[in-house]
Structure 1
């Protein structure tokens, strides 16, 4: 019996349905009128993935207001996967999904240096007054580095579990690849280098780095 534990972020603009989606998925609740998230909320969901495997998700619902964005580096730390949510009836929430994805990719990476798996989710698919077409979303998702996108209706509880299962499978695949690349007992070269004397620094006319 094995258990995989993943930290999953849910990010996007305010009022697109992040808190409602987490409540639907974790507690089967429908929240129509909710208070804006302050900073970040946290929920845990345990899934019996197979007869021998369990997946435990630590889901972080990140506030979308501008004044919380300076804190996203702290919230993103240690994440294995992410959901960027937008509202199909709100075109700005769709265009801003790119900003959220870029912010995510600049602040959290997997151990091999790759960006974490990210799923684009289009909420309010039950409403008729959509402002974005499926073709637009598919092109945007591909161009922006999302591994997949899914239309959902949090209100109708439609396609939420199926969408998150795709993210879980992606994270499990990534976990397996990481385990194969770093088998138990293997000593990383960077660790060995810690025991070697530091070379004399070479001075140049400028300093660089990603910070």
Structure 2
């Protein structure tokens, strides 16, 4: 380092949504990713659970991930999307509800979880690649929270993309919110 220069340490806080249908392994994925544990027993999430993972990305960057484990409550999930910088598992309808300030969709990675329960499928890769391209996912990973397969790799992939986008936004951003919620008419439904 040159004399007189200052080393700048960046600390980033990213809200990451983990959304999917009941029983797909959202909570198990988060528990493995954050605590390096796996529990055999199944307990359905009710509402929203939170977890925090802190990662020293490089010698100048610390990343704190707020992982929001959103149960399959589609009608309630929109409020939880605010200020999200990334998503795992589910993307259906996400783009219509939240976007980055630039207008780009929130980066999302598709997880084919529980791959320990299936035999390898040679056609899966091409199908998943096409699905990701059609639906706007950054990419996809076969994961197993049980066997700790590709859990950290999927997290690093999403984090790398969020950092790249955040650094691009930061150079153009004047402290505004990082995402825009699309406007929608309020609706009320009664039973």
For the superposition of Structure 1 and Structure 2, which TM-score range results when normalised by the shorter chain? Answer: 0.7 to 0.9
What is the match of residue 116 of structure 1?
106
What is the match of residue 38 of structure 2?
30
> Higher strand share goes to which structure?
2
Over aligned residues, Cα RMSD in angstroms?
A: 1.9
> Higher helix share goes to which structure?
1
Q: How does 1:28-177 map to 2 (within 5 A)?
A: 28-64=36-72, 68-84=73-89, 100-129=90-119, 133-177=124-168
Q: How does 1:9-24 map to 2 (within 5 A)?
A: 9-24=17-32
- Indicate how the Cα distance of structure 1 residues 8 and 173 shifts in structure 2: closer, same or farther if over 3 A, else same: same
CA apart distance, 1:122: 0.6
Deviations 1:168-192 (A, max 9, x none): 01000001111222368xxxxxxxx
What is the match of residue 188 of structure 2?
none
SS at match of 2:11: strand
Alignment gaps of 5+ in structure 2: 1-8, 176-182, 186-191
Partner Cα separation in structure 2 for residue 37 and residue 130 of structure 1: 29
Deviations 1:83-129 (A, max 9, x none): 01xxxxxxxxxxxxxxx523211111111221100000111222235
Q: How many residue pairs were aligned?
A: 170
Q: Which has the higher contact order (CA 8 A, sep 6+)?
A: 2
Which TM-score applies when normalising by structure 2?
0.83
Partner Cα separation in structure 1 for residue 105 and residue 92 of structure 2: 10
Partner Cα separation in structure 2 for residue 123 and residue 57 of structure 1: 20
